[in-house]
Chains A and B, each alone.
Chain A
Amino acid sequence: MMVKLVTIDAKGMHYTPLNQQVRRAVEDGADEVVVQNVLGQRFIGDGLKGDATIHVYGVPGGDLAMFMSGPTVIVHGNAEHAPGNTMDAGKVVIHGSAGDAVAHSMRGGKVFIRGNIGYRGGIHMKQYEAQRPILVVGGSAQTFLGEYMAGGLLIVLDLDGAMKARGIGSGIHGGEIIIRGDVDDACLAAGAKKVPLTDEDRRRIAPVIREFAGDFGLDPEPLVNADYTRIVPASARPFAGKYTWE
């Protein structure tokens, strides 16, 4: 079957008509949409459904793939803040770095970032039944990683050896944060605790790491077999002991 490909030149275009064109292309049955010359246009793929693949060339603006439910967005460059915000399903692949609040409140799908992310990565990710969001960061993450996390899987591979996150997992009450290498206790926030990565855990994350390595042309096996620190909630009810009734 022929792949239906639509190319859009985003040069000088406001985000609303750009997003309309992407939406129309997907509704008209495009399998692949290539968006050229993107320069800061926000909300690309916002609320988009279906199973098309959107290739973004350039630097998209904030809230890429927000509320997205199904498609794949591949960014051939860096992204701004909060890609994958409140995303439900689908996949975001960024061949560069991204800003703050990556995968904020994400409920399902995958966000893969080859480079670094800013502050509050994976904040308030959550899961429900079969929906379990996955955020994988190739480089480093900044402070407040996995804050308020309520579900899902967050992996930081620290490929460039410059992991900066402190205050990891403040208020975490679900899900897991897995960071390659050791993490100093002083970098954990109240409510988070370190546990050893079991063989079962490693088997569980191996397919995710292989998929990530495949997307970015990395050798997967050294990553699959590396040492990891697993960070989980100290309690599923972090605020249970804080209140009394009138």
Chain B
Amino acid sequence: MSNNLGSMPLRYRVTIDREQCMECERCIENCSYGVFRRDGDRILINSRKCTACHRCLAYCPRDAIMLEEQPCDYRSHPVWTRATREAIYNQARTGKIILAGMGSVADLPIIFDRLMLDACQVTTPPTDPLREPVELRTYLGKKPSKLDLRRNSKGDVELATELTPNLMVETPIMLGHMSYGAISLNAQISMARAAKETGTYMGTGEGGLHAGLYPYQDRMIVQVASGRFGVNIDYLERGAAIEIKLGQGAKPGIGGHLTGEKVSKDVSRTRMIPQGSDAISPAPHHDIYGIEDLSQLVRSIKEATEWKKPVFAKIAAVNNTAENVAAVARSSVDAVVIDGFRGGTGAAPRVFRDHVGIPIEVAVASADRELRKQGLRNEVSLIACGSIRESADVVKAIALGADAVYIGTAALAAMGCRVCGNCYQGLCPWGIATQRPDLVERLDPDVASKQVANLIHAWTLEITELMGAAGINSIESLRGNRDRLRGYMLDEGLLDVLDVKPVGA
């Protein structure tokens, strides 16, 4: 016996209401984790394999399946929680770093939920979005600090200032970077179609650009990460914009690692690495050892693409985010993406996921303030991401200083993801975080793209209504407009950082 810990208590218990069950076996077909099996005239259940992905519940025609989380109690203890105890048992058994899927599970207050939005009443009436247009169109990229005009030979006035390329989004909601390899091609295609339909953009992640996405390349932001997987001149030229990944909110300060098991033939072709080999992205870009070098990388990409495309840089939200953003804003980039500590991931060390970084709300607010203080706000757009869950979060992020947001987990949920956090197993029964062909096939891009587009439409409508209620008719008037926010039960220090007044003030 290699340890004396025995088995851990069940995480979930699955039961079948035998009165309701008609033994159609859809649960057996749908569960890729092997919870259900037929034995003679009975369907047997192995709850230990369950991930709470809900696929069986969703496809049971009789609502016969029920799932219970943590059916076995530990002795309750406020310090030695279930999670801390189970982490110890795991590490006592293995001696290894614990990896986990999806974003942070740390039970910390969510600042978005303690910010209230404003609405107009008598002194200023609200506007009716049905009657008066509310402009959500956003241009991402550098804006000139002043405009020079000249009179041409015909006597007409024309613009003398040379404008730099911007990305035009019809709604301030973009689809964030999730790589092919981490998610399936059908998941990427579904999001790409949704981006095209809703007039927005999506990120490729660092896994290269699969040929199946070429039809949507004018809607793709291609990512250059430290591993440079799938990066060549053709890739850079295909993207509508290029994003340099410097950090990720779920695991600030460390690199990425796609295990060889996930590098299938097709993934290998897209990443341009041998099949079955580990894809290791180092923590830093090894051609960026200082802030001057970032400028060099940004300009190398701009030179390669003849200054025709905006270049973004993404950093994780950490203590000195404001200084980082101000430094990045001087490096010729067109937009800075800030990823908060609740950002999603296919896999991150648990200790990083739950303990490193700061919330997106404070990161974007302090970055916006620092950029304005240094006279750099027009040099870059700010994109907020990492736990944008609903339209109100979008409005609050913009009021705190963002130009637009990326959504990740929310888009996956729109395709069926139940946030079970088992992405790393590669068995996603919803066809999202898997490369197994029979599972990928379950996600029909015709259907899933519509669902993602529906979500973006719905949020866009809600944003329009919220802005109308506040008497704001264009997104520019909302951006950084902290007067339309009030902090509810936030302490004075935090209100000061956010530059937001308390409720009632």
Contacts and interface: CB of A to CB of B under 8 A. Distances in A.
Interface string A178-201: 000000000000000000000000
A88 interface: yes
A8 to B, nearest CB: 16
Interface residues of B, number: 43
Contact of A49 (B94, B233, B274, B299): B233
Contact of B227 (A49, A124, A238): A124
Contact of B233 (A20, A69, A81, A237): A69
Given A47-B236, A49-B233, A67-B304, A244 B280 contact: no
A46 B298 CA distance: 12
Contacts of A148: 280, 282, 286
Given A147-B286, A173-B278, A239-B280, A16 B303 contact: yes
A124 B96 contact: no
Contacts of B421: 246
Given A85-B287, A242-B96, A126 B273 contact: yes
Contacts, number: 131
B162 to A, nearest CB: 13
A101 B278 contact: no
Contact of B277 (A63, A69, A174, A239): A174
Among B91, B233, B307, the one with the most A-chain Cβ atoms within 10 Å of its Cβ is B233
- For the residues of A in contact with B, the DSSP-based class is loop
Contacts of B280: 148, 150, 171, 173, 238-239
Nearest to B425: A245
A101 B287 contact: yes
Interface string B224-238: 000110011110100
A63 to B, nearest CB: 5
Interface string A120-137: 100110111101000000
B274 A104 contact: no
Interface in B298-317: 299-300, 303-307
Contact of B278 (A66, A82, A236): A236
A147 B305 CA distance: 29
Contacts of B215: none
Given A88-B232, A241-B96, A43 B303 contact: yes
- Residue of B97, B100, B228, B282 most packed against chain A (CB within 10 A): B228
A128 B274 contact: yes
Nearest to B278: A237
A104 B224 CA distance: 14
B424 interface: yes
A240 interface: yes
A97 interface: no
Contact of B272 (A20, A49, A107, A243): A107
Given A86-B228, A127-B274, A150-B273, A244 B98 contact: yes
Interface string A82-126: 100110100000000000010011010000000000001001101
A86 B273 CA distance: 13
Contact of B99 (A19, A240, A245): A245
Interface string A23-49: 100000000000000000011001101
A242 B286 contact: no
B56 to A, nearest CB: 22
Interface string A57-71: 000001100111100
B286 A101 contact: yes
A43 B299 contact: yes
B90 interface: yes
Contacts of B101: 246
B233 A47 contact: yes
Contact of A173 (B93, B277, B307): B277
Interface string B348-364: 01100000000000000
Nearest to A81: B287
A104 B286 contact: yes
B62 interface: no
B277 A46 contact: no
A85 B296 CA distance: 12
Contacts of B259: 240
B260 interface: yes
11 contacts: A16-B303, A43-B300, A46-B303, A66-B300, A85-B300, A104-B287, A124-B282, A171-B282, A239-B280, A242-B96, A246-B87
Interface of B: 87, 90-91, 93-94, 96-101, 227-228, 231-234, 236, 257, 259-260, 268, 272-274, 277-278, 280, 282, 286-287, 296, 299-300, 303-307, 349-350, 421, 424
Given A243-B349, A244-B91, 15 more contacts: A15-B303, A16-B303, A43-B300, A67-B304, A69-B232, A69-B233, A82-B287, A104-B287, A105-B228, A107-B232, A129-B274, A236-B278, A237-B278, A243-B99, A244-B97
